[in-house]
Structure 1
Amino acid sequence: MDDVTDGRGKAGVERVPLGAMTLYPLPESVPQARRWFRKFLARHDPACSLDDCLLMLSELVTNAILHSRAEDEWRIRVEWWREGDALRVEVHSPGFPADVRMRESPAGEAHGRGLRLVDALADSWDAGPSRFGGTVVSFVVGKAWPP
């Protein structure tokens, strides 16, 4: 995972912070995350599909709520940046990065397709250790803004 504190992302591309939020690990945080993300990202006039980004964000926040565990009270941290012409969104939560994986879900099962959706819609996604401790899962949408 790149160190965000130096203001540079992969290949030395400058990261411009666009927004962040901290959420409680509750089901009502998912629609709250969508509302805030839409409000704060829309003013940057992205060329990418905001609906696709909202779906991917919803899936990652839902996964964080359902699968993260900590002994103490905890929160979910969501941050997003512009990296050149790309949009990067990160969801930080407690837990072990090795536990993040795509699953095969039987037909009719309500859960288990979140990372598959992210994999299909994003240009790339990644999971690893969070700089806050725990896990970060991120996605990147390329050509989110004209170069």
Structure 2
Amino acid sequence: MAYTIDRHPGPDAPRLGAMVLHPIAESVPRARRWFQKFIAPYNPACSVDDCALMISELVTNAIVYGRSDDPWVVRVEWFREGASLRVEVHNPGFPASVRVRRPDANDAHGRGLLLVDSIADSWHSGPSPFGGTVVSFVMADAWPS
């Protein structure tokens, strides 16, 4: 089950929304639907469908590559940073394992980060403040400055 968190981390990057998801396949469409629902009131100028697609890819990766000996969750958060939208996906995996693959045409998997790399204005991976890994993407000019 997902739920929203209404906290805002500060005036420089107000959190617009967040969700916590179980690491199961059903969480991928749930993340997409919840993002589309909760970002709508902010009326971003960037493509919400593109963002939802990238969230789907990153949540899928978080579920596939997340690792923990304890029960764990995938966290998705989105922030407004000036005119930009930043979306973060956190899991208990290792930052060193995040990389863009160049799959062969016949490969059924491995295009998630390649897709994020081609759509987002920028993306980043590194250690998550929750432990594990965070992968984020930025859509510039999501709102007027």
TM-score (norm 2): 0.92
Matching residue of 1:7:
10
CA contact (8 A) 2:14 2:81 kept: yes
CA distance in structure 1 between the aligned counterparts of 2:128 and 2:27, rounded to whole angstroms? 20
Matching residue of 1:11:
none
Shift of 1:7: 2.6
Could you say what the CA RMSD is over the residues aligned between the two structures, in angstroms?
1.2
CA deviations over 1:66-90 (Å, ceiling 9, x no partner): 1111111100000000000000000
Runs of 4+ more than 6 Å apart? none
CA deviations over 1:34-59 (Å, ceiling 9, x no partner): 01000000110000011110111001
- Residue identity (%): 64
Secondary structure, counterpart of 2:131 in structure 1:
coil
Matching residue within 5, 20, 23 for 1:22:
20
CA deviations over 1:92-122 (Å, ceiling 9, x no partner): 0001100000112121212100001000000
CA contact (8 A) 2:102 2:114 kept: no
TM-score (norm 1): 0.91
Secondary structure, counterpart of 1:140 in structure 2:
strand
Matching residue of 1:48:
46
Matching residue within 69, 72, 81 for 1:71:
69
After the TM superposition, which residues 1-147 of structure 1 pair with which residues of structure 2 at under 5 Å, given as runs? 7=10, 14-147=12-145
CA distance in structure 2 between the aligned counterparts of 1:104 and 1:47, rounded to whole angstroms? 30
Secondary structure, counterpart of 1:22 in structure 2:
strand
Gaps of 5+ in 2: 1-7
CA distance in structure 2 between the aligned counterparts of 1:31 and 1:43, rounded to whole angstroms? 20
CA distance in structure 2 between the aligned counterparts of 1:124 and 1:72, rounded to whole angstroms? 32
CA contact (8 A) 2:84 2:143 kept: yes
CA distance in structure 1 between the aligned counterparts of 2:36 and 2:67, rounded to whole angstroms? 28
CA contact (8 A) 2:75 2:89 kept: yes
Secondary structure, counterpart of 1:74 in structure 2:
coil
CA distance in structure 2 between the aligned counterparts of 1:110 and 1:41, rounded to whole angstroms? 31
Aligned length: 138
Secondary structure, counterpart of 1:15 in structure 2:
coil
Q: 1:55 to 1:6 in 2, by over 3 A?
A: closer
